[in-house]
Amino acid sequence: MSKPTVDYSVYLVTDSGLNHPSRTLLQSVEDSILGGVTLVQLREKDLDTPAFIDLARKVHEITKKHNVPLLINDNIEVALAIDTEGAHVGQDDISCTEARRLLGPNKILGISTGTPEEAQKALADGADYIGIGTCFMTQTKSPKRTLGPIGVRAILEALPKDHPLKTVVIGGIKRDNTRRVVEHSAGRNGRILDGVAVVTGIVSASDAKAASQDLLREFRTGYENASNYLQGQVSKEKKKSIDEVLQSFPQLLTTLREKAPLTHHISNYVVMNDTANATLALGGSPIMAPSASEAQDLSKVVSSVVLNIGTLTESFVECMLEAGKHANAQSKPVILDPVGAGATSLREATAARILNHVHVDIIKGNAGEISTISKIVGCDSESIAMRGVDSLGSGFTNPAAVVQALAKREKCVVAMTGKIDYVSDGVRTVAIENGHEYQGRITGSGCMIASSIGSFAAISTDDHFAAAVAGILALNLAGEHAAARDDVRGPGTFRAAFIDEIANLKPEQVVKEARIKAIQL
Ligand code: 3NM
Ligand code: MG
């Protein structure tokens, strides 16, 4: 018998201990296959071999009926006794080469890996697939550390693109994070995960069939999005040109003022009042709520979420993760302002944690923050190579290229503020030259821009690039108008005038005064 071809899309890994009390493990297996599970692993850590064989035989009858391969965890003896389609081993189990020797060439063999080195070794040792984990914290195991999609990506990038070795991710994979993990872990080498391996997300679900259907749909969507991004097919033709983006500003601002969209801000102690007032002045509605316990309820009523890491207590961080997660589940845009990322290792780690758990639609930061984010996500070489002193004062010799590379890499919009602001979605890149130096002399003007982008993102849901451009233009023009006022004599009076001028913005006037130019790279 030759080796079966395997669809790894949704890979059920069983656990009797976590199985939902309303049904037997056998029912969970059958229901999940009916929902779309394409591969099953029987993982029973507490059964002796005879009992394991007994259970495996029953499970195998079900999987055979539905033509889905069954793999046995760790115990090759069981796999051989039942003649299942293959086995899965962990790093601490029997070695991959030994397992292959026992199983022969025609069985499916997988191994758990947590580092690029382990993945490369698995490839050399003749594995058919690797389980990459642990991705997120999970109650099923107690991992020493989690990889997050960024760690998963590092492993995918360590593998040759065209080698037949397949990859699945494992650890805390659920309906709500599947798409994100698949999209975000896609490697620059063109490697995309071949599937998601799931324990609790299926066996503990009240409806295993529905849970499997959801996982399959989310996996396929994520896979398709990832391949589109990798092929650079983010359809240019569908996107508005820079001029169209500028011309759309009046309508965006008018709609924003009409609708007054509610934005959940997890902001910081220093600027919270100013970001709330700037949002109100613009026409939006701010809710400044730093408690994780209400994030889920809020996610149902808000239109966007701004995560500002300026105040870094554990409870703020928890709230940001919770709010981000629920916003993702409900497709509400998330804006990340990684305040001070790079200044301390806690800030850097927190930014990485958010990027690993939340799909961020727009990242807004200054040059230092964007440089740190680039480093976190592995855009390192690009940014470091470009760092240098330049006349723009951004710290980069080619800031537009840095912003564009990060946007491409993270599949999001990146806005870098400074004397000149740069915005890119990886395809379109612009420089905005508006603004006044007074904006740099009060605290929170950058945070206010993130809030303004948050309000516009709630309106411009299909084009976050346009939202970022609009958010920056609005506040920069208000800054120019405020600084020009006779009654503004310094930062203090500027601060008050700035809020006034945000409220006074005339949509058409902003278009006339905008100094924005497209950058071809
Ligand atoms: N292996 P859940 S994590 C079985 O990291 C297993 O290799 C892991 O369970 C690894 O889907 C894990 O409930 C448990 O989070 C996954
Ligand atoms: Mg494992």
End-to-end CA distance of the chain: 54
Neighbouring residues of 44: CB distance < 8 A, sequence distance ≥ 6: 14, 15, 16, 52, 55, 73
56 Cβ closer than 6 Å to some ligand 1 atom: no
Neighbouring residues of 392: CB distance < 8 A, sequence distance ≥ 6: 399, 418, 419, 420
Is the distance from CB of 113 to CB of 84 less than 8 angstroms? no
Q: Is 422 left (phi over 0), alpha (psi -120 to 50) or beta?
A: beta
C-alpha span between 342 and 177 (Å, rounded):
27
Tell which wins on pLDDT, 375 or 203.
203
Which two three-digit tokens encode residue 308?
Answer: 């500002």
Domain boundaries, given as residue ranges, for the chain: 10-230, 236-518
pLDDT at 377: 86
Which of the ligands is closest to the CA of residue 152?
A: 1
User: Which residue type does 266 have?
Assistant: I
Q: Which helix (H) or strand (E) holds 227?
A: helix 208-230
Rg, C-alpha atoms of the chain: 26
Is the CATH number of domain 10-230 3.90.550.10?
Answer: no
- Residue 33 confidence (pLDDT) above 70: yes
Q: What is the pLDDT of residues 120-153, one digit of tens each?
A: 999 999 999 999 999 998 887 888 788 999 999 9
Strands 86-89 and 70-73: parallel
pLDDT at 235: 52
Axis crossing angle, helix 491-504 with helix 272-282, rounded to the nearest 10: 30
C-alpha span between 323 and 492 (Å, rounded):
33
447 catalytic per annotation: yes
**Nearest protein CA to atom 12 of ligand 1, as residue:** 171
Which two three-digit tokens encode residue 467?
Answer: 């939202």
C-alpha span between 58 and 156 (Å, rounded):
35
131 Cβ closer than 6 Å to some ligand 1 atom: yes
Mutating to test ligand 1, I would choose from 140, 173, 176 the residue with most ligand atoms within 8 A of its C-beta, which is: 140
From ligand 2's centre to the CA of 58, what distance in Å?
Answer: 23
- Residue 253 confidence (pLDDT) above 70: yes
Task: State the sign of the Cα–Cα–Cα–Cα dihedral 291, 297, 301, 303.
Answer: positive
pLDDT at 228: 81
Tell me the three state secondary structure of residue 253: helix
C-alpha span between 460 and 467 (Å, rounded):
6
Tell me, rounded to whole angstroms, the distance of Cα 331 from its chain centroid.
Answer: 12
pLDDT at 225: 86
Tell me the three state secondary structure of residue 394: coil
- Residue 81 confidence (pLDDT) above 90: yes
The secondary structure of residue 3, as a DSSP letter, is P
Mutating to test ligand 1, I would choose from 15, 42, 112 the residue with most ligand atoms within 8 A of its C-beta, which is: 112
From ligand 1's centre to the CA of 125, what distance in Å?
Answer: 22
200 Cβ closer than 6 Å to some ligand 1 atom: yes
Residue in 135, 319, 412, 447 annotated catalytic: 447
CA-112 nearest atom, ligand 1: 7
172 Cβ closer than 6 Å to some ligand 1 atom: yes
C-alpha span between 76 and 97 (Å, rounded):
12
Catalogue the E-assigned strands of 357-404. Answer: 362-365
User: Which residue type does 112 have?
Assistant: S
Is the distance from CB of 493 to CB of 487 less than 8 angstroms? yes
110 Cβ closer than 6 Å to some ligand 1 atom: no
Tell me, rounded to whole angstroms, the distance of Cα 143 from its chain centroid.
Answer: 21
CA-204 nearest atom, ligand 1: 13
Q: Which helix (H) or strand (E) holds 123?
A: helix 116-124
Mean pLDDT, all residues of the chain:
93
Burial bucket for residue 162 (CB in 10 Å: 0-12, 13-18, 19+): exposed
From ligand 2's centre to the CA of 127, what distance in Å?
Answer: 14
Catalogue the E-assigned strands of 236-342. Answer: 262-266, 285-288, 304-308, 334-337
Is the distance from CB of 31 to CB of 209 less than 8 angstroms? yes
Tell me, rounded to whole angstroms, the distance of Cα 66 from its chain centroid.
Answer: 34
Which of the ligands is closest to the CA of residue 44?
A: 1
C-alpha span between 9 and 17 (Å, rounded):
24
Q: What is the pLDDT of residues 332-370, one digit of tens each?
A: 999 999 999 988 999 999 999 999 889 899 999 999 999
Sheet strands side by side (includes 421-424): 285-288, 262-266, 304-308, 334-337, 362-365, 413-416, 421-424, 429-432, 516-518
198 Cβ closer than 6 Å to some ligand 1 atom: yes
ipTM above 0.90, yes or no: no
pLDDT at 388: 40
Q: Is 123 left (phi over 0), alpha (psi -120 to 50) or beta?
A: alpha
203 Cβ closer than 6 Å to some ligand 1 atom: no
Tell which wins on pLDDT, 11 or 138.
11
Cross-strand pairs, 415: 364, 423
419 Cβ closer than 6 Å to some ligand 1 atom: no
From ligand 2's centre to the CA of 352, what distance in Å?
Answer: 24
From ligand 1's centre to the CA of 407, what distance in Å?
Answer: 31
Q: What is the pLDDT of residues 451-460, one digit of tens each?
A: 999 999 999 9
Alpha-carbon distances of 396 from 137, 389, 390, 418, rounded to whole Å: 37, 7, 7, 11
424 Cβ closer than 6 Å to some ligand 1 atom: no
From ligand 2's centre to the CA of 90, what distance in Å?
Answer: 5
Q: What is the pLDDT of residues 309-325, one digit of tens each?
A: 999 999 999 999 999 98
Axis crossing angle, helix 208-230 with helix 175-185, rounded to the nearest 10: 20
Which of the residue ranges 154-158, 176-180, 486-490 would you say has the lowest mean pLDDT? 176-180
13 Cβ closer than 6 Å to some ligand 1 atom: yes
If you average pLDDT over residues 421-434, what whole number do you get?
A: 95
CATH superfamily, domain 236-518, is: Ribokinase (3.40.1190.20)
From ligand 1's centre to the CA of 224, what distance in Å?
Answer: 24
Which of the residue ranges 106-115, 124-133, 169-178, 379-388 would you say has the lowest mean pLDDT? 379-388
Burial bucket for residue 201 (CB in 10 Å: 0-12, 13-18, 19+): buried
Q: With bands split at pLDDT 50, 70 and 90, how would you rate the model's confidence at 389?
A: very low
